[in-house]
Amino acid sequence: MRSICSRFVQCRKWVIVCLGFSLIWNIGNAEAAEVRTETSQAKPKVAVIIDDFGNGQNGTEEMFTLPVKITVAIMPFLPTSHRDAELAHKNGYDVIVHIPMEPKHGKASWLGPGAITSELSDTEIRKRVEDAIDDIPYAIGMNNHMGSLITGDERIMSVVMQVCLERGLVYIDSSTNYRSIVGKLANQMGMPPVANHIFLDDVHTSSHINRQLQAVELWAKDHQYCVTIGHVSTKGDKTAQSLKAQIPHMKDNVEFVGISDLVREVWGWHPAPMLPSNN
C-alpha cells in the first residue's frame, strides 16, 4: 500500500512538473508569435523627396498641403528658399539642401547660383557647400540638382560629403549618374548610402506619375523601403495632384516617412545637424 502511495505521489510530481514546462513553453510561444505578428504588420517605408523648391514653381503650395510627411529639397540663394524652408519645417517636413551640380550635358543657366562645377578647387567647393547649407534653414541633409558629371567625380564628392559629415547632414544621391561614386564614399566615411530608387516624374504626365507611384509601392514591399524623387515644376502641378490622389490608397500598404526617419530606422544613423546661428 505504501509503495502504491509513493508511486502515486511521484507520478503526481512529474505531472505537475510537466504542466509547468508546458505552461512556460506556451507562454514563450505566445510571446514569440506576438513579436512575429507585430513585425509582419510593420509597413514598408516610403520617403518622398520633392526637388526644386526655392523659386515659387508650380505645385509648391500643393506640396505643402500633402497629408503625409515628405522631404523638401530646396535650392539655395533663390527668391523663396528661406520661405519654403520655414514653411516646410512648420509643417513637420524634413528639409534638405538641393545643391546644383554640373551635369554631363545641359546648359549652365539651368544650374542656378552657387553651383558645384568641375573646375573649382577643393577650397572653393568646400566654401560653396558650406554657404549652401548656411542658406537653408533647418537642413538635415543634402541631395544633388542635376550633377551627372560631379557625382561621378571622387575628388569633388569627397569634399562635398566631408562637409556634410562635419555638419551632421545625410547625403542622398539623386541617382542622375549610374556610375555615381556617392555610395562608395558613404560606406568609406561611415555615412548611410542613401540613394533615390525611382523618379516619379521623369516623364511629366499624370499617367506616368501614377504608374511610378505603383512602382514605388512594389519596390517598398520587396525591399522594405523606397526612396523616390518628384519635383515642383514649371510644367505644372501634376506630381502634387497624383500624390494627393494616390496617397490615401497607398497608406493602406506603406508608411510615408521623412528621410531622417528612414536613415535612423534602416541604417541606425542619427543625424545631429550643426545649424548656423541664423537658423
Beta bridge partner(s), residue 141: 96, 170
25/92: higher pLDDT = 92
Residue 253's pLDDT is: 97
Distance separating alpha carbons of residues 174 and 159, to the nearest angstrom:
17
Q: Does 172 score more than 70 pLDDT?
A: yes
> CA 9 to CA 212: how far, in whole Å?
71
- Distance, in Å, from the CA atom of 137 to the CA atom of 279, rounded to the nearest integer, reads 5
191-241 per-position pLDDT tens digit: 999 999 999 999 999 999 999 999 999 999 999 999 999 999 877 789 999
The whole model's pTM is what? 0.84
pLDDT at 213 (0 to 100): 98
Classified as helix, coil or strand, 98 is strand
- When mean pLDDT is compared across 8-12, 41-45, 98-102, 183-187, the lowest value belongs to 8-12
Query: Nearest 5 degrees, angle CA 208-CA 63-CA 91?
Result: 145
